[in-house]
Chain A
């Protein structure tokens, strides 16, 4: 039941309606049942892994709270975390198994995301930063919550569980925002990501074949990836809002970042924060007496892990190393730059203007490492960036002539999506819709309803064929 099918929308609407009419004490039951039914249709017997890991962590956390000796507490925490991470690594490294077992271990849907949730929760209980949850039902609903299971956002237990205990009605404002958010997600996916993807895929599939403008792939892929991944987050956050559940945000205008450090505060925010709390900070604390060497070491380990999480491939390792290099240079020169800006304020203003352009290009180089299928392709793309900008091969010229309207729609749609996102963020800070006169509010409501109907019709015409998200496989 892919997010981009009419079946998913119908299932979501039915679950949200039943949730609304149920008494509050039964709502966590509905969330759990709806999530397990969704998971069963999406992942079949792999649901057993989710159930087992949920029970293991629930019990492990209660045991941690009852155990007093530090050594024993550490043993419990390390054992459970090793089991969870070990299972994830086994599935991620499936292709390294002997060929006769090929395909035997397909990555269970959302395994990364519920593992992150469970590990974070258990470590917090170990650190005594959070109490252990005593209600198994609420905890199981937390680990399996179906809008977030495909690709996050990675919500912390301390943020989700209090909402599950209260299980309030979704307000009419929340439902409207949820529907608008889902619509924005579909817009980004169908109008922007899929259309840009057409050209990006063509360029990367014909890298060595002749004269394709590689620059199109270089600029197109970051925009496609952002539209695709943030669409997934939009649908997840919007769906949760229909149940009255607020989720953390995953993106904050990442291409407006003024530095690589700022970029990681805006891109896949919940994963970055998770890694900061459970990988980077513990590593940095252990190496704090090493000075700058400890900082660089912790950054490299953290970023290479981010790369490897996407898959055990050298291109992802290079992706991690490239970003570790950016972050290390940014961190090691930060103090000097800030001091320089204090004495040269006009330079700071210029740096603020140039920062987003420079950062976007640095990030785009990272995305080449992410998208290319081999190390030689990374080198080839970066060495031939400006090749064939105008001198196209005959097949590409014919492909372009046939599909240029999709590129125009994708690029124009990207600009529209950025405007929608800006208005959405502004509306979240200080509601603007409610301050409009009645005709303005009703115009917005009518547009949302009409857009939702149009989307349903489009999905119906399109059939039940899903349009896979780039990030749903991680």
Chain B
């Protein structure tokens, strides 16, 4: 199974990347390649994972590299709507847990506080706002 990647700019500098399919050894490069033009300029990238039914360590590494690229210019990422088995892989690896959200509303709240905090100089990618729930 391949991967479908849809990228839309929700608001200035905030991108929604909706993924459908598997992020595996065959598809991770397509994700990185397609996301790259966005990641070099984004203030925030939100991954909608609702239709991702499988992720391997190659997929984890791809998302991690995107995170690092966005953080290079003081942006951040959020992941929402994960299926339980995909969430299990993230939980097992103990990565990105502060940036995983059950719903788009929670992610939006996080990003609002992040972007406000960056503007006021109180928050950086290495000093994320906490979750409200």
A joins B in a complex: no
By a beta-carbon cutoff of 8 Å, the part of chain B in contact with chain A is: none
A positions within 8 Å CB-CB of B: none
